[in-house]
């Protein structure tokens, strides 16, 4: 994900990010060319999804971690996803679960897959089936 300035079409830079407050994370992005600003506010379910992927969010961590990734020129969450994708595949998927995964929109499917796999590992499952996907869906509040 990348935020572009609507005024000058430049990539926005992360200015600051706050720790979860009432389940939400706030982030402020600024255009380096024209100083236009935009704020992002996650809802509690989005915050929970990010935390389920192993991202530690707390005082200073959100701003520092997101700023470091943003300064590297990418999405604040792309480094975390790449790290999770590089781990060896200890998890297996049933055909039904894979078919269900394919129904998730393309742009969020990699993050959803990683979240479900992380949920499975955290809860001691080596096989992701339809029932586990439903359980994870309920846990993420979706």
Window from 36-40, 46-50, 67-71, 94-98 with minimum mean pLDDT = 67-71
> What SS3 class is residue 93?
strand
In a domain, 79, yes or no: no
Answer yes or no: is pLDDT of 128 > 80.
yes
Task: For residues 91 and 56, state if they share a domain.
Answer: no
Can you give the pTM of this predicted structure?
0.41
Q: The CATH number of the domain where 33 resides is what?
A: 2.20.25.420
**How many structural domains compose the chain?**
2
More confident residue, 84 or 92: 92
pLDDT at 57 (0 to 100): 54
More confident residue, 52 or 8: 8
In a domain, 15, yes or no: yes
In a domain, 82, yes or no: no
Give residue 32's Cα distance to chain centre: 24
Burial class (CB in 10 A: 0-12, 13-18, 19+), 136: buried
Task: For residues 68 and 38, state if they share a domain.
Answer: yes
For residue range 11-50, what is the model confidence (pLDDT) as tens digits? Answer: 888 887 776 667 777 788 889 999 888 888 888 787 777 7
Pairing of strands 92-93, 127-128: parallel
8 Å CB contact between 97 and 128: yes
| Sign of the torsion formed by the C-alpha atoms of 128, 134, 135 and 141 | positive
Q: The CATH number of the domain where 98 resides is what?
A: 1.10.8.550
| Domain assignment of residue 26, given as a range | 1-74
In a domain, 43, yes or no: yes
Task: For residues 70 and 3, state if they share a domain.
Answer: yes
> What is the per-residue DSSP string for 3-31?
-B-TTT-PBPEEEEEEEEETTEEEEEEE-
The mean pLDDT of the chain is 75
Task: For residues 67 and 119, state if they share a domain.
Answer: no
Task: For residues 3 and 58, state if they share a domain.
Answer: yes
pLDDT at 98 (0 to 100): 92
* pLDDT mean over 44-61: 64
């Amino acid at each position: 994900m990348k935020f572009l300035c609507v005024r000058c079409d430049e990539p926005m830079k992360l200015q600051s990010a706050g720790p979860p407050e009432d389940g939400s994370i706030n982030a402020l992005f600024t255009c380096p060319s024209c100083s236009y600003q935009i704020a992002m506010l996650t809802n509690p379910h989005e915050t929970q999804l990010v935390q389920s992927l192993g991202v530690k969010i707390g005082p200073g961590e959100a701003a520092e971690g997101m700023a470091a990734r943003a300064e590297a020129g990418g999405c604040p969450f792309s480094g975390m996803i790449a790290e999770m994708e590089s781990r060896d595949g200890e998890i297996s998927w049933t055909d039904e679960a894979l078919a269900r995964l394919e129904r998730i929109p393309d742009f969020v499917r990699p993050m959803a897959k990683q979240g479900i796999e992380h949920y499975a590992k955290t809860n001691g499952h080596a096989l992701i089936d339809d029932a586990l996907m439903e359980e994870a869906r309920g846990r993420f509040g979706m």
